[in-house]
């Protein structure tokens, strides 16, 4: 298990961000802005998207300066238009200015991830397929990215290496003693009660894997035709043995152009690395009243 819970991880990341940016103090603000001055500002969307990060924004200022109050004007997950006021901030002018860039970085990143996620979720609407995130995140940002994916309508994959078994091709290449993909699943199940996912990239590997009854199978970089065959093979195998069917997840090279076709093959889930490794920050500004 991780050393910290999710709230503790977020607190630690916020503290690190404050240390990185503020250090010993905001010299410009401290020189020019009177200590007792108060101010009111508005976080304003410069472009349309999906709002995410209000809770993190509030928690950031609670941790950074208790003399600042955030009033949300948009709901988490709400679609926003350019010019929309997202939140009002009031309190110490020094604290607001010092935290301005950090708070905008958090909001812009989380809104960008949520907006891209919503695009993928909308693209597969009606298929019943779930859009999943991956571990392809900037180190240290995963807690924020996972929250943003969830707000955008996606679902979270494993949080890290500790909470699910995912057997990939490189594990099989280095495993001793050597064996089949089914052998790897059996050995993992003997030693752990965690859910087991196995990555395969051919139908032969899938046939072998099904014998070991994994909880999930990751169908990696398969063509649409191969995905359809994999879905049929899995359904037929499970029905013939009266077994619980493993969840099928497609992965690899997924884009907004291809995701609908992948969803229509009958898979249960699609994991999309682009949600977190290629999201573009939403343009948001802080305007003072």
Q: Which residues are known catalytic residues?
A: 101, 136, 168, 199, 220
CA–CA gap between residue 199 and residue 216 (Å, rounded): 9
DSSP 221-268: S--HHHHHHHHHHHHHHHHHHT-PPPEEEEESS--TTTHHHHHTTT-S
CA–CA gap between residue 144 and residue 53 (Å, rounded): 8
Can you read off the two tokens belonging to residue 39?
A: 């101010």
CA–CA gap between residue 228 and residue 25 (Å, rounded): 58
Residue 187: its H or E element: helix 181-191
The separation between CA 154 and the C-alpha centre of its own chain, rounded to angstroms, equals 8
Pairing of strands 85-92, 68-72: antiparallel
């Amino acid at each position: 298990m991780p050393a910290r819970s999710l709230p503790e991880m977020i607190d630690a990341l916020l503290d690190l961000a404050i240390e990185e940016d503020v250090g010993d103090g905001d010299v410009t603000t401290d020189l020019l802005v009177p200590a007792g001055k108060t101010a009111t500002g508005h976080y304003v969307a410069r472009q349309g998207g999906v709002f995410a990060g209000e809770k993190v924004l509030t928690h950031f200022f609670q941790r950074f300066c208790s003399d600042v109050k955030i009033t949300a004007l948009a709901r988490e997950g709400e679609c926003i238009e350019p010019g929309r006021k997202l939140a009002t901030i009031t309190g110490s002018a020094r604290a607001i200015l010092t935290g301005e860039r950090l708070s905008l970085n958090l909001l812009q990143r989380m809104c960008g991830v949520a907006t891209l996620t919503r695009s993928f979720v909308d693209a597969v609407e009606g298929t019943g397929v779930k859009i999943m995130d991956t571990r392809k995140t900037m180190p240290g940002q995963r807690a924020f990215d996972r929250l943003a994916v969830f707000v955008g309508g996606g679902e979270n994959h494993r949080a890290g290496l500790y909470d699910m078994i995912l057997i990939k091709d490189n594990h099989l290449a280095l495993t001793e003693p050597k064996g089949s993909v089914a052998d790897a699943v059996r050995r993992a199940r003997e030693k752990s009660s965690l859910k087991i996912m196995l990555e395969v990239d051919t139908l032969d590997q899938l046939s072998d894997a099904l014998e070991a009854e994994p909880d999930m199978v990751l169908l990696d970089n398969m063509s649409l035709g191969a995905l359809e065959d994999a879905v049929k093979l899995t359904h037929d195998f499970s029905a013939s043995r009266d077994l619980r069917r493993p969840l099928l997840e497609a992965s690899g090279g997924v884009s907004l152009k291809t995701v609908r076709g992948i969803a229509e093959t009958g898979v249960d889930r699609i994991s999309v690395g682009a949600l977190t490794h290629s999201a573009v920050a939403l343009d948001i500004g802080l305007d003072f009243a």
